[in-house]
């Protein structure tokens, strides 16, 4: 048979195809996990039901929220020093986190009967989302790619993290300060646990913020990460399992509107909230090591920026110009400028995150 004919019949990997593949994969994973865990098919005791409800809710809400964001002139400003192919995305509505994050929170709160841990994690998630909203709004008002100052943004993140850690200290058992390691080992940190917990919240939120740079990248990897975290915490923290399932579903529903070519971006409103939610669940469930493994892709994005800036400063010559370690940072832009298409970068990121989720399940 003619090779050209066969090539024309191959499945074309585009944003929509990738979305449906991810959606089917996550749905199958949710059903399979419920079967393995022996979960009842109900809103408050399974992964599948809150996952599907949040996915349906955020996807349907997006059909009215995206035009509203466009009418409010919330168009994204694209930095000129970024990949030139991204300039055509200027004007795409941002702040999409304002509609899909609340859907996840609402589903989780109702499903768990406003359980204490769910309320705490939800409030933290919304607080970080509010910080992102302020930043996004400043970007829109100033009509530039600069929002609130980095110092103010970091200060707000740290302040909310401190409040959350104080609540955890007052409400959770003392054994939480021992970090679970593979092979049944534990690392008792005592008072050192609290600065680590605060660091995790701030670091996770900034890592997911940096990862949110391509159509469908953070939405899809976020959905996978939350599904993996739901499986990790299920045996000991069913309420947090439901919260993670709802977050995974909301991310997938948002991805219906965010896959390439994106009709809306999540903005800092969404990305900061996702990172904080991941960190909070990891802290409360005592799974910080498993969380580290699960979110290694996000930290690789952060590390690429640190390396790029450090190398540039270290190699700066008399003219004030230094060398670049990567073609561009964060890491996903390096691969773009190396000849990968945006779809290829996102597809590989999905595969890597899925692999990390399976690995995290083994080391929890």
pLDDT tens per residue across span 185-211: 999 999 999 999 999 999 999 999 999
Residue 179 backbone dihedrals phi, psi, to 5 degrees? -80, 125
Higher pLDDT, 90 or 346: 346
Q: Are 302 and 210 in contact (CB under 8 A)?
A: yes
Q: What pLDDT band is residue 10 in, cutting at 50, 70 and 90?
A: very low
Q: What pLDDT band is residue 142 in, cutting at 50, 70 and 90?
A: confident
14-23, 67-76, 112-121, 228-237, range with the lowest pLDDT: 67-76
Beta bridge partners of 93: 75
Tell me if the pTM is above 0.75.
Answer: yes
Q: What pLDDT band is residue 87 in, cutting at 50, 70 and 90?
A: low
Q: Are 189 and 177 in contact (CB under 8 A)?
A: yes
Q: What is the mean pLDDT of residues 213-238?
A: 97
pLDDT digits (tens, 9 = 90+) for 153-168: 999 999 999 999 999 9
Look at residue 6 and tell me whether its pLDDT is greater than 80: no
Beta bridge partners of 188: 178
360 CA to centre of own chain: 16
Q: Where are the alpha helices (DSSP H) in the chain?
A: 3-9, 15-37, 48-71, 97-111, 116-142, 150-171, 193-211, 217-233, 238-258, 267-285, 288-294, 296-314, 331-337, 342-363
Q: What is the mean pLDDT of residues 84-106?
A: 87
């Amino acid at each position: 048979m003619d090779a050209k004919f066969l090539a024309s019949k191959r499945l074309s990997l585009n944003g929509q195809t990738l979305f449906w593949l991810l959606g089917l994969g996550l749905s199958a994973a949710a059903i399979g996990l419920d079967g393995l865990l022996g979960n009842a098919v109900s809103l408050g005791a399974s992964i599948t039901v809150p996952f599907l409800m949040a996915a349906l809710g955020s996807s349907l809400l997006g059909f009215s929220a995206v035009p509203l964001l466009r009418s409010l002139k919330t168009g994204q400003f694209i930095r000129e020093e970024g990949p030139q192919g991204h300039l055509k995305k200027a004007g795409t509505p941002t702040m999409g986190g304002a509609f899909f994050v609340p859907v996840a929170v609402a589903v989780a709160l109702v499903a768990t009967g406003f359980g204490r841990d769910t309320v705490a994690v939800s409030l933290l998630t919304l607080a970080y989302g509010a910080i992102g909203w302020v930043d996004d709004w400043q970007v829109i008002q100033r009509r530039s790619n600069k929002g609130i100052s980095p110092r103010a943004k970091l200060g707000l993140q740290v302040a909310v993290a401190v409040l959350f850690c104080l609540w955890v200290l007052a409400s959770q058992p003392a054994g939480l300060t021992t970090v679970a390691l593979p092979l049944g080992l534990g690392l008792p940190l005592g008072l050192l646990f609290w600065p680590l917990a605060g660091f995790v919240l701030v670091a996770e939120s900034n890592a997911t913020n940096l990862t949110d740079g391509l159509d469908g990248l953070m939405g899809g990897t976020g959905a996978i990460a939350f599904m993996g975290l739901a499986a990790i915490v299920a045996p000991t923290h069913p309420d947090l399992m439901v919260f993670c399932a709802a977050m995974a579903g909301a991310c997938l529903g948002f991805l219906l509107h965010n896959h390439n070519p994106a009709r809306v971006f999540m903005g800092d409103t969404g990305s900061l909230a996702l990172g904080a939610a991941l960190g909070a669940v990891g802290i409360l469930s005592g799974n910080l090591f498993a969380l580290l493994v699960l979110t290694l892709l996000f930290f690789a994005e952060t590390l690429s920026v640190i390396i790029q800036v450090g190398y540039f400063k270290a190699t700066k010559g008399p003219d004030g110009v230094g060398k670049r370690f990567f073609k561009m940072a964060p890491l996903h832009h390096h691969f773009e400028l190396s000849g990968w298409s945006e779809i290829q970068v996102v597809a590989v990121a999905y595969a890597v995150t899925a692999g990390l989720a399976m690995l995290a399940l083994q080391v929890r």
